[in-house]
C-alpha cells in the first residue's frame, strides 16, 4: 500500500550508503599506512590547508578533530554507523506508515550488514533489537502476520 511517504526509499538509500561507507573504512584501515599523511596532502592540493615554512614546526596534542589519516578513517566509521542507524529508523517509520516492504527491507538488511561489518556482536544485537521493534510496531497496529493468514478466512 503506497502512502506517499518516502521513508522506505530513504531507508534503502541510507542502508546501501552505510554498507559502502563501512566497506570503504574497513578497506582503508587494512591497506593504508596511517602515518602516510594522505589526507593532509589531499587537503593541501585543494588549497584548504596552508603551511608556513618560515615558522618552526611544533607538536600539539592529538584530538578527535585533528586532521590525520587515522581520524579520517574513524570519522568514516562514525558516518557509516550514522547511516546505518538512520536506515533502521527510517525502516521503522516506513513500517509504521505501512509503506511497501521492498525499500524498508533493503534498508533494514543493509543497515544491519553495515553495523555487522564493523562489529559483529553490535550488528547482531542491532538486527535482533530492530526485528523486535518491527514486531512491536506491527502488534500495536493489530497487524501481526499470523492474524492476516488465519485458516478459514477468504
Q: From first to last of its 154 residues, what are the pLDDT tens digits of the chain?
A: 455 678 888 888 888 898 899 888 888 888 877 777 777 777 777 777 776 667 776 677 777 777 777 888 888 889 988 998 888 888 888 888 877 777 667 878 888 888 887 788 888 888 888 788 878 877 776 644 544 444 455 5
| pLDDT at residue number 4 | 65
61: left (phi over 0), alpha (psi -120 to 50) or beta: beta
| pLDDT at residue number 142 | 61
pTM for this entry? 0.70
The DSSP code sequence of 35-46 is TS-HHHHHHHHH
Query: For residue 82, what are the CA distances in angstroms to 1, 60, 134, 135?
Result: 29, 29, 20, 23
CA nearest neighbour of 20 among 101, 90, 84 = 84
**Cell output for 85:** 542507524
Residues 5, 99: contact at Cβ < 8 Å? yes
| pLDDT at residue number 144 | 46
| pLDDT at residue number 150 | 47
Distance of alpha carbon 95 from alpha carbon 108, whole angstroms: 11
Residues 109, 16: contact at Cβ < 8 Å? no
Amino acid at each position: 500500500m503506497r502512502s506517499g511517504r518516502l521513508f522506505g526509499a530513504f531507508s534503502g538509500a541510507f542502508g546501501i550508503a552505510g554498507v559502502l561507507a563501512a566497506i570503504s573504512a574497513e578497506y582503508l584501515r587494512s591497506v593504508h599506512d596511517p602515518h602516510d599523511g594522505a589526507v593532509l596532502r589531499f587537503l593541501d592540493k585543494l588549497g584548504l590547508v596552508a603551511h608556513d615554512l618560515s615558522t618552526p614546526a611544533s607538536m600539539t596534542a592529538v584530538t578527535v578533530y585533528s586532521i590525520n589519516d587515522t581520524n579520517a578513517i574513524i570519522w568514516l566509521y562514525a558516518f557509516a554507523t550514522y547511516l546505518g542507524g538512520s536506515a533502521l529508523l527510517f525502516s521503522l517509520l516506513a513500517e509504521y506508515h505501512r509503506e511497501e516492504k521492498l525499500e524498508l527491507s533493503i534498508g533494514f538488511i543493509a543497515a544491519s550488514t553495515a553495523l555487522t561489518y564493523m562489529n559483529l556482536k553490535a550488528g547482531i544485537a542491532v538486527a535482533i533489537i530492530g526485528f523486535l521493534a518491527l514486531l512491536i510496531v506491527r502488534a500495536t497496529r493489530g497487524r501481526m502476520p499470523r492474524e492476516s493468514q488465519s485458516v478459514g478466512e477468504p
